[in-house]
Amino acid sequence: MNYREAMAYVEELGQYGSVMGLATMRELCARLGQPQDQLKFVHIAGTNGKGSIVAYVSTILQQAGYKVGRYISPTVTDYRERFQIGGRMITQAGLCKYLEPVKEAAEAMAAEGLPHPTAFEVETAVAFLYFLDKQCEIVILETGLGGAEDATNVIETTLVAAFASISRDHMGILGETPEQIAAVKSGIIKNKCYAISVRQQPEVMKVLRQAALLRKARFYTADAGRAKNIRYGVTRQHFTYDKYKNLAIAMAGQVQIENAVAAVEIITALGRLGFPVQEEQLRQGLLETRWRGRFEVIGRKPLFIADGAHNEDAARRLAESIRFYFTNRRIIYIMGMLKDKEYDKVILDTYALAEHIITVTPPAGERALHAYELAQSVSEFHDSVTVADSVQEAVEIAYLLAAQDKDAVIIAFGSLSYLGELIKVVEHRDTIRRDSHGRSEEN
C-alpha cells in the first residue's frame, strides 16, 4: 500500500458512517492482538477545549522527556496530524505500514458477515498499533464523539480521565440536556483512575462526581476560578495557579486559562502515578504549546484570527474573547458551517460584533452548509453579508475590507474542515508579501 492508496482507502471508509458502540472496535482490536492493553492513557472528553488540553499535556510531558503519543480528531492542515509522537505527525510510510494490518483485519471481519469498522474505528486502531510499536510511555487520547460508546473507550488502562467544558452538541446522539451528555461522556472514567474536570455547570459536575464515586476514581476539579494575577493578551497570557506563580501561555482566548489549569491538574495527578514533571518543564511546556485553529493568530497586518467555534458554547466563548480583546475595533468575519450544527445559534451569539460577514462552503461533502444558505440565515440578523465562491475569494474579500482601517480584525471561524485551507491561503499570502517587501528593500 502506498500513500495514495492509503488515503483512497480512508476516503472509502466514509461510507460506513459513524456508529456508536464498542462491539466492532473490540473485535478489531482482538484481531490485532489488543495493542491498547499494553499502553497507558490520559483520556480526554468534552464538548469544547479537549484538543487544547491534549496539546498542553502532551507538550509538557515531552518537555519532561517522556515519549508521548497524541491522538486527535478532527485535524486542520493534514490528515496525518491525527497520529503524533513527540509533537511530530506520522510519516506517509508509517501511516501505510500501520494501516495495512488494520485494513486486512477490517476486511476479514466484513467477509465473515460482521460490521465493517468505521473510519474512526480504523484510525483509532492504527493509533494503538503505531504508539505501541514506537514504545510510547504514555498516550494522550482525545475522544471522537461522546465517551462511553466512543471507539477510543475500548481502553482499560486509563491513568487519568479528564473533562473539558461539556455543553450541548450532537444532541441527537448524546442526549438533549447537559446532564444526559455528561452521563455519556463520564463513561471514560475507569476503576480507580484519576478523574479531573474543569469547573462545569452544577448539574454536570454532579453527574461526573457520581460516576467517579461509582468507579472508585479520585475526582479533582481544575477550577480556573482559583487562577490569580491573570494578564490576558493575544500573543501571551499570564496567570498564577496554586503554588505555580506567573505561568505563561502563548495561546490566545480567555478560555485558554481554563484549559491550561486543567493541564496543570492532569500533570499533578500523573506525578502521583509515576510520571514526575519538574516545575521548569511544566512552565516551558505550557509556553511552547500551540494548537492550530483555536483563536490562533495567523496574520498580523491586519490581525487575522482562525477559530474552530462551531457550536453554541464555542461561539459564546468566541464572542466573549472578541469583546474582551478587540473592543471598538472593526471586525470582519469569515464563516463556514456544517448542516448538522446549530448554526443559527452560532450566528445569534456572534453576528452583532461584526461589521461585515463573509460566508464560505466547507469541503465537507453532504454535511457542508452551502455559503448561500448560510448567508440567508445570517441576513436575517445582519445587513452586510457576502457569499464567497471559495476560501481563497473569502480571504481576498476580507483583506480588501480590512484595508480601509489599520485596526481592523479578521476572524474566520466555524467548521475546522475549511480552516486548514484558509490558514494555508493566509500564510502563503503573507510569505509572498514578505518576499516582495524584501526584494523592494534590496533594490
Domains and CATH numbers, the chain: 3-288 (3.40.1190.10), 296-442 (3.90.190.20)
Which range, of 82-91, 161-170, 265-274, 331-340, averages the lowest pLDDT? 161-170
Whether pLDDT at 170 is above 50: no
Q: The pTM is what?
A: 0.88
pLDDT at 439: 56
Cell digits for 259? Answer: 484549559
Average pLDDT over residues 13-17: 91
CA dihedral (141, 26, 176, 353) in degrees, to 10, reads 30
Render pLDDT for 32-75 as a digit per residue (tens, 0 to 9). Answer: 999 999 999 999 999 888 999 999 999 999 999 999 999 998 78
pLDDT at 3: 96
Say how far apart CA 205 and CA 165 lie, in whole Å: 11
Name residue 61's amino acid.
Answer: L
Residue owning grid cell 502563548: 250
Mean pLDDT in the chain?
93
- By DSSP bridging, strand 68-71 and strand 83-85 are antiparallel
pLDDT band for position 271 (50/70/90)? Answer: very high
Which range, of 152-156, 263-267, 288-292, 433-437, averages the lowest pLDDT? 433-437
* Residue among 234, 295, 53, 15 nearest 161 (CA): 53
pLDDT at 431: 76
Structural Rg of the chain based on CA atoms = 22
pLDDT band for position 259 (50/70/90)? Answer: very high
Say how far apart CA 324 and CA 112 lie, in whole Å: 57
Whether pLDDT at 441 is above 60: no
pLDDT band for position 434 (50/70/90)? Answer: low
pLDDT band for position 174 (50/70/90)? Answer: low
Render pLDDT for 332-361 as a digit per residue (tens, 0 to 9). Answer: 999 999 998 889 999 999 999 999 999 999
Q: 411 near 307, Cβ under 8 Å?
A: yes
What percentage of the chain carries pLDDT values higher than 70? 96
